[in-house]
Amino acid sequence: MVYKLNDFIAQKIVNFIHKKSGFEVIVCDNNGTIIADSAQARIGQQHKGSMKILTTNCDSVAITPLEADASGGRIKEGLNVAIEADGVKIGTFGIAGKLEIIHPVAKIAAGMVIMMLSDEELKDNIRSQLQALSTSVDPDASDQLSNREIVIELLKSTTDSINFTNENHAEIYQMIESMNNLVFKDTLTGIYNRHYIYRKLPIDIISASLSEQSLSIIISDIDFFKKVNDTYGHLVGDYTLKSFADTLSGCIKREGDWISRYGGEEFLICLPGAGVEKAIEIAEHMRRTAENNVILYGKNIIKITASFGVCSTKPATNESVVNLIARADNKLYKAKNKGRNRVES
């Protein structure tokens, strides 16, 4: 089936990406003509980068920082990518910004255009990928996932903003949710996994920076967890981890907050828009709740405590994920060294 871009869908995706990211974006049709523009300034113009993509074998054209500087402001650093359906280039999507940031956004947006053009095509695609994931994905082998699979969480978050043309979109939501669970959920605790952290946290950091807000993370670790396993066995240990994850989840109420299992008995909580004071308040609530909780497993009564490390980004700064986690981890070990069962920031 050959799809043809239309102005309505093109402008819809442009408006959505521009609103969510703040980046300038355009969509060109299969003739290289700009049919949607977030700045509403170049509609109807021919786009050279788009023409190159549509008339050659290349799938993308990047404008490097050096090229942008050399143009004297005439062009901006950015990326144009092909919008393809069934191997046919039906247009291009362009976005201006730092290449290391916008590359995945451009790829996702190009896929979303096709999703908006045909939900039936999307359902067939998701069915095949879901079947493949169900039979082959090792939850611990997250680095082996394809680019298509690792954007499922983003697709899930954006489908609410897309109006499909028939009444079957509920099936799409269900399939995306199933794939999302396979790729991003920790099988033991039911919360997000480490793979999710490295896909979602960069997006939240960028979003916080663009909106000039802070972002805080908390890293928590169960104190002396090895003693639980040694005393009661690993089944009780697993149950304790699940109970602790439920405790942490029950302590976050704000929209946009999320929690993931970072590894072993260590958990990461992300609080977009929260400053360090608010994050400390939430961490302290988690600490008290965990300390007061009684975990019952058969005849066993288990009591645990946990330590917490808190750190925040500054508004309008774009800190790396690795650095942010390292800072929080250092605070966690400071809490451990000071006697455990405490919050450090």
Query: What average pLDDT does range 180-188 have in this prediction?
Result: 76
- For the chain, the first-to-last Cα distance in angstroms comes to 56
Q: Which residues contact 136 (CB under 8 A, 6 or more apart)?
A: none
Token reading at 309: 């490390």
Mean pLDDT, the chain, as a whole number?
A: 82
The percent of residues in the chain predicted with pLDDT above 70, rounded, is: 79
pLDDT at 108 over 80: no
Q: Which CATH class is domain 194-344?
A: alpha beta
Looking at residue 109, its pLDDT comes to 77
Query: What average pLDDT does range 89-101 have in this prediction?
Result: 88
Burial label for 106, CB within 10 Å (0-12, 13-18, 19+), is: buried
Q: State the catalytic residue, choosing from 265, 266, 284, 319.
A: 265
Q: Is 277 a catalytic residue?
A: no
For residues 91 and 83, the answer to whether their CB atoms sit within 8 Å is: yes
Q: Which CATH superfamily is domain 7-183 in?
A: GAF domain (3.30.450.40)
Distance CA 59, CA 89 (A): 9
Distance CA 63, CA 125 (A): 31
For residues 91 and 30, the answer to whether their CB atoms sit within 8 Å is: yes
Domains 7-183 and 194-344 share a fold: no
Token reading at 60: 């993308």
Domain spans of the chain? 7-183, 194-344
pLDDT band at 125 (very low <50, low <70, confident <90, very high): low
pLDDT at 193 over 70: yes
For residues 259 and 245, the answer to whether their CB atoms sit within 8 Å is: yes
For residues 220 and 283, the answer to whether their CB atoms sit within 8 Å is: yes
Q: Which residue has the higher pLDDT, 66 or 113?
A: 66
Looking at residue 177, its pLDDT comes to 60
Return the minimum-mean-pLDDT range out of 13-22, 79-88, 128-137, 306-315: 128-137
Hey, how many other C-beta atoms are within 10 angstroms of the C-beta on 16?
Answer: 18
